[in-house]
Amino acid sequence: MNGARGLAGRLAEHVAGLLFPPQCAGCGREVSNPGTVCGRCWSRLRFIERPYCAVMGTPFAHDLGENFLSAEAIADPPPFQRARAAVGHDGIPRRMIVGLKYHDQTNLAPWMAQWMLRAGGELIADCDVILPVPLHAFRFWSRRFNQAAELARAVAALADKPFEPEALKRVKRTRQQVGLAATERQRNVSGAFRVPNDQEIKIRGRSILLVDDVYTTGATVKAATRALLRAHAASVDVLTFSRVLPEI
């Protein structure tokens, strides 16, 4: 019986592949596997590789030595320990995030998570638990899912790490961050996050990996990190799929 079900499942996948062939996540060309990008789009991706700031993960144009810090990390040290991202945000990664976030393309999350796993290997190895940046309940209701949670769930599954989507709550209904200046972003998310009392046991004394889709100014993940530290997290690292990069 199980063999018959397996055969039926494979047949259904084959038929679906014929009727709806997978398309490149960047340009829509037909590709061999869903969630992948074609060769032309792959060549246009800007993967974030070393050398980069040991804290912020911002890439350097030249190798300045191990553990060298960016001006941002020195002038305005973040509450989290380290931040890493898989790719620069412009172009194809931006379109992938828009597809995941606004067009219900949740099938992209497992593929995006594979890139994040490569970028954040050291952070994932060090963490005890993986959390997404949460949505406010109203926005979750209107969107029906949290794109950060989809990415965090996929990363946790690939890394075989605990996933705790309820451990951090967004208690303040904030404006969309898109289009806001850096100082406006900070005010917008100030006090927006809290660890519920019954969830603190999942946070206290543990190393947390906080996952979001894109790192822009860092205002959101910094506010979320402060809430986790108030709940006595041992440390917080941040992993995102993409990052808005300065010109280098």
Residue 71: its pLDDT value, please? 93
Pairing of strands 129-132, 207-215: parallel
Label residues 64-95 b or e (16+ Cβ within 10 Å = b).
eeeeeebeebeeeebbbbbbbbbbbbeebbeb
Question: What mean pLDDT do residues 24-44 have?
Answer: 82
CA dihedral sign of residues 226, 227, 231, 235:
negative
Please tell me the chain's helix, strand, coil percentages from 3-state DSSP, rounded to the nearest 5: 45, 15, 40
The CA-atom distances, in angstroms, between 246 and each of 48, 57, 88, 99 are 12, 12, 10, 24
Indicate the domain borders of the chain: 1-44, 46-243
| Range name among 8-12, 57-61, 88-92, 233-237 with the lowest pLDDT average | 8-12
Class of the 46-243 domain? alpha beta
As a whole number, the mean pLDDT across the chain is 87
Say if residue 27's pLDDT is above 80. Answer: yes
Q: In this predicted structure, which of 77-81, 97-101, 176-180, 232-236 has the lowest mean pLDDT?
A: 176-180
| 179 pLDDT higher than 70 | no
Tell me which of 52-66, 79-93, 133-147, 162-176 is least confident: 133-147
Contact call for residues 113 and 130 (beta carbons, < 8 A) = no
Q: What percent of the chain has pLDDT over 70?
A: 86
pLDDT-derived band at 6, boundaries 50, 70, 90: low
Residue 132: pLDDT band (50, 70, 90) is: very high
- Looking at residue 37, its amino acid is V
User: Global pTM?
Assistant: 0.86
Lowest mean pLDDT among 14-28, 59-73, 119-133, 233-247: 14-28
Q: How far apart are CA 32 and CA 40, in angstroms?
A: 14
CA–CA distance, 85 with 210 (Å, rounded to integer): 12
